[in-house]
Structure 1
Amino acid sequence: MMSAAAVLNGIDAAIVRLLVDVHPFVIGFFRALFGLLFVAPMIVRRPAILASGYRATHAVRAALKLGGLLCFFVAFTLAPLADVTAIIFLSPILLAIGAWLFLGEKLGPMRVLAIAAGFSGALIIINPGGSGALEPALLLALAGSALMALAQLVLKKMSQRDSADTLVAWNLILTVPLALIPAMFMWTTPGWPAFFLLVVQGMCGALNMALVTRAFSYADASFLAPFDFIRLPAVALIAFLLFGQVAGLSTWIGAGIIFAATLIASRNKTPTRMD
């Protein structure tokens, strides 16, 4: 399930790149809208899932996740897909930092080493030529990873009281109006080919969310985390077939370092609270 979700993420990134005539903000709105339409039957059949112990927190999480997605979408249109995807893998590293800062989780020596290694891998990708000029699109991807990590921190707290279905439903319900606000300023009505791609993207997003949610109900996060890295070769292959993009050596080296760092961070758990 995690492997399939990783491939769907690759398809999602390629669709953003294909939608050259649609602004990323508009893509974000339609992705949320069609994603909501695909899960709407579940909500209608089981309205009880909308009962939640949280209110405003759902909106905060939706806004953070939307901000991260929009950063990624803009980066996908400006930079090589494999480079952006590799930077996205920093999210678990940033999550570990956020858990230390805001949730009181301890950082053992191995996790500190993993964080340092993760950022060194990101620097290799962001500045592959060593010219001293940072790539703005990849910095945007880094910002998106930070926003996603914050969203995960909020989710970690909310999952103590709300079910996975409740969290998915409210995220999509609230993301649609939130995404409409920036989309209105960049609005262009998609043509039929673009509209079809947006429908496929919404379907991929909803299916991705369902697969990941179910996978985490079967296995621990530390076991599942490495499978998400299937996304990079999937994206690299799709980018080569559709756009002729070839991931450079620095991308694979940096991604390998980030992968190792994430693996270390996820498998070296420490007590969750400071005394």
Structure 2
Amino acid sequence: MTLSPNLRAALFMAISMAGFTLNDALTKTVIGDMSAAQVMLVRGTFATIMIGLLAWHGGVLSSLSSLRRPLVAVRAASEVGSTLCFLAALAQMPLANVSAILQALPLAVTMGAALFLHEPVGWRRWTAILAGFAGVMIIVRPGFEGFNSYSLLALLCVAFCALRDLVTRRIPEDIPSLAVSFATALFVTVVGGFLVVPYGGWTELTVTSTSMLLGAAILLIVGYQFIIMAMRAGDISFVAPFRYTALIWALLLGLLVFGEVPDFAMLLGAAIVVASGLYTLYRERHAGKTQPVTDTTSPAMAPDGV
């Protein structure tokens, strides 16, 4: 049976989201035994080497001199902030809860584009944004039983990621995306190295922990390669909603690997966030935008050092 281009692209997108979420699961397994800074350093080293090889193969390393721009530095700093918040939240929260909160990223980027880049956003999308963040509040549950203060770090992670993605849209098109990814990964890795001591020092690496972090880095690359294949194979309007399969993977992995059973409030809030994101995507398409905000956010909707 031969799949149509759109169905093949949807499959690629689902595989990409699985790769990103498996990376999160492996990282969550390791983060209990070592600091976030050490995770950034070790995983970042593996990822930087692999991205560097891809950049070398693609002939973009010669463009690294063009990266000396303030926007590239702001993007890298935003990625550092989001990674630190994400790892801290991931260590103390169920995987699915963190993933559900991060699904609000496209809504945050849409809001940021309206407020700071003066992009037109009508009342329907503003309503969807407000509904989406109401869904996030249901997941977070501030002031109620079950509230986890680390969920505020997940929200701060969304803010850092939104800043990262808004800045990325302002980086000149003549700078290759792979070069920006390499520079960001390198910066995150170096900052992780500097923070190892302030974050509690070095924990001896075992074969298991090293293998998991290597596997996490490989899964990041797999995720990025499959999302590129997805965007090239099918129509973006058909493929983009399948990014939300990341939440399904997070629910399954949380249940099967960590024994995390989602409660009703989490499922309700996640459903509202995803529905709001899908409606925002629909409205952006209906408004005739050639590059919807939802398509310009980071593929994994999470910090990954690239």
Which segments of 5 or more consecutive residues in structure 1 lack a partner in the other structure? none
Hey, what's the Cα distance between the residues in 1 that align with 2:71 and 2:162? 15
What pairs up with 1:259-274 in 2 under 5 angstroms? 259-269=274-284, 270=287
Alpha-carbon distance, 1:93 to partner: 0.7
The CA deviation string for residues 14-39 of structure 1, in whole angstroms up to 9 with x for no partner, is: 11221121112211222221101112
Q: Are 1:31 and 2:43 matched, yes or no?
A: yes
Q: Which stretches of structure 1, 4 residues or longer, exceed 6 Å deviation after superposition?
A: none
Partner of 2:15: 4
Partner of 2:250: 235
Assess if the C-alpha contact under 8 Å between 1:43 and 1:49 holds in 2: no
What pairs up with 1:47-196 in 2 under 5 angstroms? 47-50=61-64, 52=66, 55-127=69-141, 131=144, 134-158=147-171, 160-186=173-199, 187-188=201-202, 189-196=204-211
Alpha-carbon distance, 1:86 to partner: 0.2
Secondary structure at the aligned position of 2:197 is classed as helix
Number of residue pairs aligned between Structure 1 and Structure 2: 271
Partner of 1:208: 223
Hey, what's the Cα distance between the residues in 1 that align with 2:230 and 2:171? 19
Alpha-carbon distance, 1:92 to partner: 0.6
Secondary structure at the aligned position of 2:34 is classed as coil
Assess if the C-alpha contact under 8 Å between 1:106 and 1:271 holds in 2: no
Counterpart AA for 2:40 = G
Change beyond 3 A, Cα 1:222–1:154: farther
Secondary structure at the aligned position of 2:86 is classed as helix
Hey, what's the Cα distance between the residues in 1 that align with 2:92 and 2:145? 19
Assess if the C-alpha contact under 8 Å between 2:24 and 2:216 holds in 1: no
CA RMSD of superposed structures (Å): 2.3
Assess if the C-alpha contact under 8 Å between 2:128 and 2:279 holds in 1: yes
TM value normalised by structure 1: 0.89
Secondary structure at the aligned position of 1:158 is classed as coil
Hey, what's the Cα distance between the residues in 1 that align with 2:109 and 2:195? 26
Assess if the C-alpha contact under 8 Å between 2:113 and 2:166 holds in 1: yes
Partner of 1:257: 272
Alpha-carbon distance, 1:63 to partner: 1.5
Hey, what's the Cα distance between the residues in 1 that align with 2:197 and 2:233? 40
Alpha-carbon distance, 1:175 to partner: 2.3
Comparing 11-20 with 253-262, greater Cα deviation is found at: 11-20
Assess if the C-alpha contact under 8 Å between 1:72 and 1:140 holds in 2: yes
Hey, what's the Cα distance between the residues in 2 that align with 1:193 and 1:30? 13
Counterpart AA for 1:144 = C
Hey, what's the Cα distance between the residues in 1 that align with 2:130 and 2:13? 26
Alpha-carbon distance, 1:132 to partner: 6.7
Assess if the C-alpha contact under 8 Å between 1:53 and 1:161 holds in 2: no
Hey, what's the Cα distance between the residues in 2 that align with 1:191 and 1:53? 36
Counterpart AA for 2:209 = A
Counterpart AA for 2:270 = A
Hey, what's the Cα distance between the residues in 2 that align with 1:119 and 1:25? 30
Counterpart AA for 1:70 = L
Hey, what's the Cα distance between the residues in 2 that align with 1:182 and 1:39? 23
Counterpart AA for 1:32 = G
The CA deviation string for residues 137-192 of structure 1, in whole angstroms up to 9 with x for no partner, is: 11111110111011000111115332322222222232221232223322323222
Alpha-carbon distance, 1:220 to partner: 6.1
Change beyond 3 A, Cα 1:222–1:162: farther
